[in-house]
Every structure is written in structure tokens, then in C-alpha cells.
Structure 1
């Protein structure tokens, strides 16, 4: 079974040497331009998607609306993404040893924010990459998850998330 990345983990792309991406800083926040009326009664949070180039040449990156999907709670309901307040990466050349970060503002029912799934599909040099999934929750401490290079804590959490998703997919198991 495919195991999702944990929020804070880096994912490296095989098809683009040196390119890696991560979803991180999943935390409660208010958008800089004020609340959208469509999010009335929902709790806002923010997340960041950072693209890093550790390769030898620059790569043109696109991460725009529609390339990030945010799902909440055990049923995976769609979060409200405030496109007006979010900042994307639109046609940016990421040079070697440089990064570019997109900041997204989203909202959802407060009870569902403990389980957040973020799916990202980059466009690199006009080619689509494979979709990748990160799992986490608002209020979980990222530094505990991504504590160091040994990744012992991450493996434990990744397996817990994977086991939970597997249990949810198989009705009748507890």
C-alpha cells in the first residue's frame, strides 16, 4: 500500500533530479486579507508547500489553484480553500540551492481539523509530476514529526497514519 508523507516530510521526485517538495507549517491562522464570506462558521488554518531545487540546473515551477487539494476529517471532505488570500508559485524558475514557497489559507469545521490530507501535483517544465499526499492535523507539532535525519519518529507516525487509513478503507475491522 502507498503510504502518505507526513506533514513536514520532504518528497523527492525521481523524474527531476534534485527536486523535492514538502507540505509544512499546518497551523491555525487568519488570512491576511480578511475572512471570505463563504467560510462563515468555519475555522481558518494555513499550510505551506515548499519546493526546493538541489539539482544542477534551474527548473520552471508552477503550483497554482487546482494543483493542491485539501481534505478534512475521517470522511475526507473538501476544505474551503481561500484562493483570494493564498499565494501560489506561478511560473517561477527555482535555481540550484534555492526554494520557492506557496502559502495556502483554508477553512473547515473545527472538529475535522485534527485530520488533514493535502494532495499536491506540481507542474515542472510544463510536465505534470505524480500526485503526492501528506497527512497531518492542525495542532499536531511538526517538530516532533520531523525531528531529525534518523526519521524514527516519522516512520512511527507514517505507519500509524497508514494503518488508520487502511482500517477506514476496510469496513468491519476495528
Structure 2
């Protein structure tokens, strides 16, 4: 029997974050399927109302693990990596700003679907769903940036003692 390693990184701290990305991507794919169906125009008005409610539920369920992941990165990963590469400009600043952008898209969708879903037209629902689609797009690019820039950089520049410290700090659940 052959065992395939799904992790691309050797450092345990980066594997923790990579594993969280895999889990969050799984959750995202569930709600993104609804977004794609809205974009394709496959829903009737009644189906759209049911699906926008389901999309809202899935996004609400996504928020806690997403926020927990972000808090870990912002409290431990970015500050420690920042000691090596700087924090005032560069990739960490960009990545942190994306956290805010993602929260904004999801928050906007949730705000506008808080009530009166039964009064929305199909066109209004399709317009609102664009926020969830944008959140998905930013999230996917965000994960690619972290995994192609920050994670390899961390493995290359961070001292073993700091890697161990980071692993201990990150070794908490996001759900």
C-alpha cells in the first residue's frame, strides 16, 4: 500500500496552517457551488430563495473556523515571521489586508440577507451572491500567496527555536 503525503511543507507549523487551508477550502467549496449555480442562472425564484438561505447558513458556519485561523495567523505567525522579513511593508501587510477584504465581502452578504429574503427578486439574489463569489476568489488567491510565498519563506529563514515556538502556538483547533 502506498501512502501519499498531502502536505507540501516539512515544518510542523506550516503543516498546521496548510491543513487549516485544506479544511477551509473544503467548507468554501460547499458554498461556492451555490454561487456558481446562481451565476449559471439555474435557479427559479423559489429555488433561489431556498439556496440563498442555505448559502447564508454555510457562510455563517464558515465564519468561526475562518476567524480562528486568521486570529492564529495574526497573533503568532505574522508577528514572528515579521521579525525576519519586516512587518511594515511587503507580503505580510498584503495578506493581512486580504483578511479584512474577505470579512468585508462575507459581512456585506450576511448583512443584506439578514431579513426580507422572501421579498428579494432573483436578480437581487444574484447580485448579493456576487459578494460570496468575491470572498471565494480572494480566499483562493490568498491561500495560494501564503502557500507559495510566506510558508516557503518561513521554512527558509526562521530559526528552529522560533519554528518550535510557532508550532506550539499554532497547535490549537479552529473548529
User: Given the two structures, how large is their TM-score scaled by the length of structure 2?
Assistant: 0.23
Higher relative contact order (CA 8 A, sep 6+): 2
Normalized per residue, which structure has more strand?
Answer: 1
